[in-house]
């Protein structure tokens, strides 16, 4: 049935808790997001133990805020870090000398390392005065020589002869000046450009070090001198959620003498414990309260915000959740469902977009949309309780809920010599040794925060990109791959001009096809005329967007189709050109499946669109703005872009939760694509929580046992069957439950 807008009624005030990238604001932390830090500030201002203060001044909550001038460390302005040049990123080829290309890997490095530039001249003057030879390869420089080259020699002034060459001009220029060091020069330029937002391109050369003024604690010494039960506020914030719960549950020695302070302390302690337990119950007990919000994954940020909303005890509200299980290990799904139940018990309504079948089974009411996707969807094909959905004839989800669908078997592949990682230590990894067999799918599993992404991307991918071991003692076997592909880490950018054809690099072929037509040649049209981004081709009224925004003064703006091109995006003259009876706008309105047929005579275009269809995106419109795609659709589009140009030889594909946003039927299609990759001799490593994928992998690397400081260890590695038998593995327990449920529900 179809539901019209005018039929919507009885909607309570809504709050969307969508999947989102956490705020990049460096001043936002887990503690500030959940308001726990506000309670900490109140606690320290009322019950903190402070040394005698001049004039007997009272403690204030602002003293303990790194976002307030009264408390923020003046050296780092409350950020806790200072941005400095990273020598390892600046010196890109240590086999060369600093004047012959050691820094040529970046534009900034080439500028400062110009052998005919003033900076190299200043370096050589400083070297001559100190008896140092900077003509040697950088890797042969002594620690003292590297210190001079990078950090300079302070205020000492040198007589410098700069032998410059600029085109046909050459000569000597003599001047006196200090040597600041290459790292100092880059840091100074970054600071200058960063102030007016021009320094982003230089950010790759920089790193954030703990502030030497506050040692990363963000606050002034006077604020850090105040303690509560032996900890300053930075030390308390550095505890994980689990550790903080233990701290506040133990009230030993925490009772103040006077009644007023005792009442405030107990009230704060009770509220803090309540909020901490909510964070624990959404599977985030490994997070530290001082962890930057920007470092959270989208799933972590969404669940943290959900816990924060639970903390304020709202009632009579409609909560809209977008895949709340994103990034959540199956072990913690039951806890999340219990929290959602708590919301409904408070008189709220919860609407969740979700593919996790355990969450669907726990729902009171299910709306199943379809029957297909895109133009084939948009209808309610079944609704009711989960058992009613299981028996609904038109439901695609029902058979999966009932366990009636025969899922694909093991993905197969041929086991080859392993990729060996020795002593992996990125983030919380505990110098673990991991063997990843080639030729098969390896699923990297573990609870949230156990170190999965650190192993795959901060060790394996980073080592591949650097051409040397990164965050590990050694890595052996990367040389077996002609290419390492990181697929699915970042979705395509959402902007009004990007469409699937442009993102996949296929639009040029379409424009060439139209420009070669008889009608186009007769009109003098070139390839540029068939782009909606060029002055030659785009509709002048809407600028090629196909839409116009109408301001309604005090109401929200509305977007309507352009009245000139009627949404086609092109100039009317361009739309008079046809190929096989279709205009270029008609082509952009084709689905991927129809496009593959239309472009059967264009092998590259047809192959790319067939890949889209094969991964479940057959309904996608070729001209659909990427901003209208879901997260799962965008990730699969990125995967296809990587597969458009297959490597000539074995490749290593690294995936970050590739099943994100996928219905079980789409997971089956994805596994089919994985099978094709294995058949071509490639290797797949996937960070994953989805039990369908894990159970069909050739090898599993299970990390944990918990997250954060309780993770980073290798719990088990081996076949899914071997992991299932492991008593120590949370993933093994989840696989056992999954296997038992699947077998018991089959007819």
Output the domain CATH number for residue 562: 1.20.1580.10
State the Cα–Cα distance between residues 304 and 302, nearest whole angstrom: 5
**Are 159 and 230 found together in one domain?**
no
DSSP code of residue 405? S
In a domain, 381, yes or no: no
CB atoms within 10 A of CB 133: 12
Pair of tokens at residue 677: 């990759």
- Label residue 12 by pLDDT band (50, 70, 90): confident
In a domain, 100, yes or no: yes
The CA-to-CA distance between both ends of the chain, in Å, stands at 30
State the Cα–Cα distance between residues 174 and 286, nearest whole angstrom: 59
DSSP code of residue 545? S
Helix (H, G, I), strand (E, B) or coil at 142: coil
**Over residues 573-588, mean pLDDT:** 95
**Over residues 509-532, mean pLDDT:** 95
In a domain, 473, yes or no: yes
Task: Report the Cα 313 to chain-centroid distance in Å.
Answer: 30
State the Cα–Cα distance between residues 642 and 738, nearest whole angstrom: 32
Q: What is the CATH number of the domain that holds 472?
A: 3.40.50.300
pLDDT of residue 606 exceeding 80, the answer is yes
- Label residue 642 by pLDDT band (50, 70, 90): confident
| CA nearest neighbour of 285 among 694, 728, 713, 705 | 705
Q: Long-range contacts made by residues 231-235, C-beta under 8 angstroms, separation at least 24?
A: 233/40, 233/41, 233/44, 233/64, 234/290
DSSP code of residue 580? T
Over its C-alpha atoms, the chain yields an Rg (Å, rounded) of 30
Which tens digits make up the pLDDT trace of 120-167? 999 999 999 999 999 999 999 999 999 999 999 999 999 999 998 887
Q: What's the burial of 522, exposed, middle or buried (CB within 10 Å: 0-12/13-18/19+)?
A: exposed
Domain boundary at 619, 653, 685, which?
619
In a domain, 353, yes or no: no
Query: What residue numbers bound the domain in which 162 lies?
Result: 84-210
**Are 486 and 635 found together in one domain?**
yes
pLDDT of residue 90 exceeding 90, the answer is yes
**Are 615 and 633 found together in one domain?**
no
Helix (H, G, I), strand (E, B) or coil at 315: coil
> For position 745, what pLDDT does the model report?
47
Query: Is the distance from CB of 538 to CB of 544 less than 8 angstroms?
Result: yes
Pair of tokens at residue 380: 């309610």
Q: How many domains does the chain have?
A: 4
**Over residues 56-77, mean pLDDT:** 93
**Are 160 and 239 found together in one domain?**
no
- Label residue 372 by pLDDT band (50, 70, 90): confident
Name the least confident of 5-19, 66-80, 276-290, 728-742. 5-19
> For position 19, what pLDDT does the model report?
63
CB atoms within 10 A of CB 657: 22
**Are 635 and 486 found together in one domain?**
yes
**Are 241 and 260 found together in one domain?**
yes
Report DSSP letters for 224-267, one per residue: HT-BBTTB-HHHHHTSBHHHHHHHHH--TT---SSHHHHHHHHH
- Cα pseudo-dihedral 294, 299, 300, 304, rounded to 10: 100
Q: Long-range contacts made by residues 309-314, C-beta under 8 angstroms, separation at least 24?
A: 309/15, 309/17, 310/278, 310/339, 310/342, 310/343, 311/34, 311/35, 311/274, 311/275, 311/278, 313/346, 314/15, 314/346, 314/348
> For position 742, what pLDDT does the model report?
57
Query: Is the distance from CB of 488 to CB of 655 less than 8 angstroms?
Result: yes
**Are 540 and 455 found together in one domain?**
no
Task: Report the Cα 406 to chain-centroid distance in Å.
Answer: 33
- Cα pseudo-dihedral 144, 147, 148, 150, rounded to 10: 150
Query: Is the distance from CB of 218 to CB of 76 less than 8 angstroms?
Result: yes
**Are 148 and 241 found together in one domain?**
no
Which tens digits make up the pLDDT trace of 336-351? 898 889 889 989 999 9
**Over residues 221-235, mean pLDDT:** 95
Q: Percent of the chain at pLDDT above 90?
A: 60
Which tens digits make up the pLDDT trace of 462-498? 999 988 899 999 999 999 999 998 875 555 555 557 8
Q: Percent of the chain at pLDDT above 70?
A: 93
Please name the helix (run of DSSP H) or strand (run of DSSP E) that holds residue 454, with its range, or none: none
In a domain, 670, yes or no: yes
Query: Is the distance from CB of 99 to CB of 141 less than 8 angstroms?
Result: no
> For position 491, what pLDDT does the model report?
54
| CA nearest neighbour of 530 among 567, 568, 561, 564 | 568
Domain boundary at 295, 315, 349, which?
295
Q: What is the CATH number of the domain that holds 112?
A: 1.10.8.280
**Are 185 and 111 found together in one domain?**
yes
Q: Collect all residues with Cβ–Cβ distance below 8 Å to 297 and sequence separation of at least 6.
A: 22, 326, 327
In a domain, 342, yes or no: no
> For position 405, what pLDDT does the model report?
84
> For position 744, what pLDDT does the model report?
47
pLDDT of residue 306 exceeding 90, the answer is no
Domain boundary at 210, 239, 264, which?
210
Query: Could you tell me how many residues make up the chain?
Result: 747
**Are 154 and 108 found together in one domain?**
yes
**Are 598 and 679 found together in one domain?**
no
**Over residues 624-646, mean pLDDT:** 80
Q: Collect all residues with Cβ–Cβ distance below 8 Å to 503 and sequence separation of at least 6.
A: 492, 626, 637, 641
Report DSSP letters for 68-85, one per residue: STTTB-TTTTTSSEEEEE
SS3 content of the chain, % helix, strand, coil (to 5): 40, 20, 40
**Are 596 and 516 found together in one domain?**
yes
pLDDT of residue 23 exceeding 60, the answer is no
> For position 496, what pLDDT does the model report?
55
**Over residues 290-303, mean pLDDT:** 82
DSSP code of residue 427? T
Which tens digits make up the pLDDT trace of 1-10? 444 445 667 7
Pair of tokens at residue 199: 């320094």
> For position 9, what pLDDT does the model report?
74
Q: What is the mean pLDDT of the chain?
A: 89
In a domain, 168, yes or no: yes
Helix (H, G, I), strand (E, B) or coil at 443: strand
- Label residue 240 by pLDDT band (50, 70, 90): very high
Query: Directed axis angle between helix 143-151 and helix 118-130, to 10°?
Result: 140
State the Cα–Cα distance between residues 424 and 470, nearest whole angstrom: 9
| CA nearest neighbour of 299 among 712, 25, 660 | 660
State the Cα–Cα distance between residues 573 and 348, nearest whole angstrom: 55
pLDDT of residue 186 exceeding 60, the answer is yes
> For position 317, what pLDDT does the model report?
92
Query: 602-641 burial, b for 16+ CB within 10 Å, e for fewer?
Result: beebbebbbbbbbbbbbbbbbbbbbeebbbbbbbbbbbbb
In a domain, 468, yes or no: yes
**CA count, 13 A, side-chain hemisphere, 569:** 21
- Label residue 747 by pLDDT band (50, 70, 90): very low
Task: Output 54 or 569, whichever has higher pLDDT.
Answer: 569
Query: 478-508 burial, b for 16+ CB within 10 Å, e for fewer?
Result: bebbebbbbbbbebbeeeeebbbbbbbebbe
């Amino acid at each position: 049935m179809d539901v019209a807008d005018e039929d919507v009624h009885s909607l309570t005030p809504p709050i969307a808790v969508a999947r989102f990238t956490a705020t990049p604001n460096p001043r936002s932390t887990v503690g500030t997001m959940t308001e726990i830090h506000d309670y900490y500030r109140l606690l320290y201002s009322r019950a903190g133990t402070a040394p005698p203060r001049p004039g007997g001044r009272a403690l204030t909550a602002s003293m303990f805020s790194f976002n307030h001038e009264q408390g923020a460390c003046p050296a780092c302005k409350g950020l806790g870090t200072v941005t400095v040049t990273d020598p390892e990123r600046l010196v890109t080829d240590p086999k060369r000398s600093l004047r012959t290309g050691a820094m040529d890997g970046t534009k900034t490095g080439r500028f400062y390392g110009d052998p005919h530039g003033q900076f190299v001249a200043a370096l050589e003057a400083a070297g001559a005065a100190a008896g140092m030879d900077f003509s040697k390869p950088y890797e042969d420089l002594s620690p003292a020589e590297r210190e001079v080259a990078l950090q300079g020699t302070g205020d000492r002034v040198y007589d410098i002869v700069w032998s410059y060459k600029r085109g046909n001009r050459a000569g000597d220029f003599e001047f006196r000046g200090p040597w600041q060091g290459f790292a100092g020069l880059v840091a100074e330029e970054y600071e200058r450009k960063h102030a007016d937002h021009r320094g982003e391109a230089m950010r790759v050369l920089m790193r954030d070090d703990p502030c030497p003024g506050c040692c990363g604690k963000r606050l002034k010494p006077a604020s850090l001198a105040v303690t509560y039960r032996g900890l300053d506020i930075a030390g308390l914030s550095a505890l994980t959620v689990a550790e903080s719960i233990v701290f506040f549950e133990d009230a030993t020695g925490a009772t103040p003498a006077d009644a007023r302070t005792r009442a405030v302390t107990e009230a704060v302690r009770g509220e803090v414990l309540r909020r901490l337990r909510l964070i624990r119950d959404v599977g985030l007990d490994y997070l530290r309260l001082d962890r930057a919000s920007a470092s959270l994954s989208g799933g972590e940020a969404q669940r943290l915000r959900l816990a924060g909303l639970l903390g304020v005890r709202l009632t009579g509200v409609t909560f809209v959740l977008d895949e709340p299980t994103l990034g959540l290990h199956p072990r913690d799904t039951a806890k999340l469902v219990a929290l959602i139940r708590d919301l409904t018990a408070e008189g709220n309504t919860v609407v969740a977009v979700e593919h996790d079948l355990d969450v669907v089974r726990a729902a009171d009411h299910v709306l199943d949309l379809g029957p297909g996707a895109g133009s084939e969807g948009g209808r309610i094909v079944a609704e009711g309780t989960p058992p009613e959905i299981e028996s609904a004839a038109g439901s695609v989800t029902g058979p999966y809920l009932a366990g009636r669908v025969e899922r694909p078997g093991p993905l197969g592949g041929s086991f080859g010599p392993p990729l060996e990682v020795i002593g992996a230590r990125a983030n919380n990894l505990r110098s673990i040794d991991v063997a990843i067999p080639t030729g098969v799918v390896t699923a990297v599993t573990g609870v949230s925060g156990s170190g999965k992404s650190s192993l795959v991307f901060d060790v394996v991918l980073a080592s591949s990109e650097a051409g040397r071991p990164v965050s590990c003692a050694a890595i052996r076997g990367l040389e077996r791959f002609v290419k390492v592909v990181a697929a699915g880490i970042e979705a395509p950018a959402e902007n009004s001009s990007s469409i699937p054809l442009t993102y996949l690099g296929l639009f040029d072929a379409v424009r060439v096809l139209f420009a070669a037509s008889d009608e186009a040649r007769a009109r003098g049209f070139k390839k540029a005329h068939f782009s909606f981004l060029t002055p030659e081709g785009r509709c002048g009224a809407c600028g090629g967007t196909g839409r116009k925004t109408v301001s309604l003064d005090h109401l929200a703006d509305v977007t309507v189709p352009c009245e000139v091109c009627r949404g086609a995006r092109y100039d009317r003259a361009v739309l008079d050109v046809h190929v096989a009876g279709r205009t270029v706008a008609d082509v952009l309105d084709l689905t991927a499946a129809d496009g593959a047929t239309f472009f059967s005579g264009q092998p590259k275009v047809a192959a790319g669109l067939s890949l889209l269809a094969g991964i479940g995106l057959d309904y996608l419109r070729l001209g659909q703005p990427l901003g209208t795609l879901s997260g799962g659709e965008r990730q699969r589009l990125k995967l296809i872009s990587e597969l458009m140009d297959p490597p000539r030889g074995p490749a290593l594909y690294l995936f970050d939760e590739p099943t994100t946003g996928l219905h079980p039927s789409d997971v089956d299609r994805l596994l089919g694509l994985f099978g094709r990759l294995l058949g071509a001799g490639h290797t797949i490593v996937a960070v994953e929580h989805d039990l369908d994928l894990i159970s069909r992998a050739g090898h599993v690397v299970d990390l944990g046992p918990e997250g954060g400081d309780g993770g980073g260890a290798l719990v088990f590695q081996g076949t899914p069957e071997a992991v299932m038998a492991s008593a120590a593995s949370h993933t093994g327990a989840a696989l056992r439950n999954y296997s038992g449920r699947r077998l018991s529900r089959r007819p």
